[in-house]
């Protein structure tokens, strides 16, 4: 399933599921608002990135990514890379849950980690792949009862994700400590000046070298990364009821017309329409 997404990763449907296989994958950092993601790694040599961590993943690892968490996957060799990714709207998962069975539980992290990692044994591994392939087939061939079957299959998939054994000690973080400082500096200064010269002054480093170094690990230039983080902050503020002018200032854009244009380009609608849609 190929979906044309805005730059911020907004998903137009409640469910996206795809079983892919290729030899090269190098996605930029992205996140999905109001959707969780499950990625089952079937084969290949890949590194999974969050803004503050990066680690190799093994076949059989199921990574549970809470909504709004930035992530990236990069292949390190030309070995076949096979995986299944599943995105589900958070509200839909709440509808599928019951007072005694919270299907969101597998996405609840302990605070030290941005994602949860589970290691599927052969039975769970085979069951998970079979259920996802059935879900993809059901979504591709709409017919009477297909919506009910989709919910049944989603419930079964989420039950598997909540039953599998978590990895008690996550793989060693291979992201350079310096890059953690850069991303933390961005997170803590979204309202302030985040030009390349500001980074150069903060880290005493040539700004062009710093930008290349950052892009090597994130797949994004510092400028693009800052814009996407600011857009996400703007969306949060709009959903909280702030007016557009205030959001423009608090998210660090400064220039009102530039904020409107950039938000429209990334999200697909104006800030005012976004606020009306998600805040009422």
Question: What's 133's domain CATH number?
Answer: 2.60.120.280
Q: Is residue 241 part of a domain?
A: yes
Q: Is residue 2 part of a domain?
A: no
Q: Given pLDDT bands bounded at 50, 70 and 90, which one contains residue 3? A: very low
Distance, in Å, from the CA atom of 159 to the CA atom of 161, rounded to the nearest integer, reads 5
Which CATH number belongs to the domain containing residue 204 in this structure? 1.10.10.60
Long-range contacts of 228-232 (CB under 8 A, 24+ apart): 228/7, 228/8, 228/29, 228/266, 229/186, 229/187, 229/190, 230/190, 231/8, 231/262, 231/263, 231/266, 231/267, 232/8, 232/31, 232/33, 232/68
Q: Is residue 206 part of a domain?
A: yes
Domain count, the chain: 2
What is the span of the domain harbouring residue 86?
15-166
Q: Is residue 10 part of a domain?
A: no
pTM tops 0.95: no
Distance, in Å, from the CA atom of 150 to the CA atom of 276, rounded to the nearest integer, reads 30
Judge whether residue 42 has pLDDT over 70.
yes
Q: Is residue 273 part of a domain?
A: yes
Q: Given pLDDT bands bounded at 50, 70 and 90, which one contains residue 131? A: very high
Judge whether residue 222 has pLDDT over 60.
yes
Q: Which residues contact 273 (CB under 8 A, 6 or more apart)?
A: none
Q: Provide the pLDDT for residue 10.
A: 66
Distance, in Å, from the CA atom of 251 to the CA atom of 234, rounded to the nearest integer, reads 6
Kindly state the average pLDDT of the residues 88-93.
96
Tell me, yes or no, whether 82 and 159 share the same domain: yes
Helix (H) or strand (E) holding 272: helix 271-279
Tell me, yes or no, whether 19 and 68 share the same domain: yes
Judge whether residue 5 has pLDDT over 70.
no
Q: Is residue 60 part of a domain?
A: yes
Distance, in Å, from the CA atom of 230 to the CA atom of 170, rounded to the nearest integer, reads 29
Biggest CA pair distance of the chain: 63
Q: Provide the pLDDT for residue 52.
A: 82
Q: Is residue 5 part of a domain?
A: no
Tell me, yes or no, whether 140 and 200 share the same domain: no
Tell me, yes or no, whether 123 and 259 share the same domain: no
Kindly state the average pLDDT of the residues 77-88.
95
């Amino acid at each position: 399933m190929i979906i044309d997404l805005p730059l911020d990763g907004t998903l137009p449907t409640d469910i996206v599921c795809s079983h892919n296989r290729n030899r090269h994958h190098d996605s930029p950092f992205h996140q999905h608002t109001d959707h969780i993601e499950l990625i089952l790694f079937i084969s290949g040599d890949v590194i999974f990135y969050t803004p503050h961590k990066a680690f190799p993943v093994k076949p059989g690892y199921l990574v549970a990514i809470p909504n709004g968490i930035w992530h990236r996957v990069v292949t390190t060799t030309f070995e076949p890379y096979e995986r299944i990714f599943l995105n589900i709207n958070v509200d839909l998962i709440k509808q599928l849950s019951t007072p005694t069975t919270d299907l969101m539980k597998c996405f609840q992290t302990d605070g030290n980690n941005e994602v949860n990692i589970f290691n599927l044994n052969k039975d769970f591994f085979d069951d998970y792949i079979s259920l996802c392939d059935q879900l993809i087939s059901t979504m591709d061939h709409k017919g009477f009862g297909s919506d009910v079957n989709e919910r049944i299959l989603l419930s079964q998939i989420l039950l598997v994700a909540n039953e599998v054994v978590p990895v008690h000690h996550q793989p060693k973080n291979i992201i350079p400590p310096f890059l953690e400082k850069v991303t933390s500096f961005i997170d803590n200064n979204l309202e302030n000046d985040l030009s390349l010269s500001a980074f150069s002054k903060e880290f005493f480093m040539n700004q062009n070298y710093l930008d290349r170094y950052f892009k090597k690990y994130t797949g994004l230039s510092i400028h693009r990364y800052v814009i996407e983080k600011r857009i996400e902050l703007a969306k949060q503020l709009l959903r909280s009821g702030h007016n557009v002018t205030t959001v423009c200032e608090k998210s660090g854009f400064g220039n009102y017309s530039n904020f409107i244009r950039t938000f429209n380009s990334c999200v697909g609608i104006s800030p005012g329409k976004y606020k009306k849609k998600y805040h009422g």
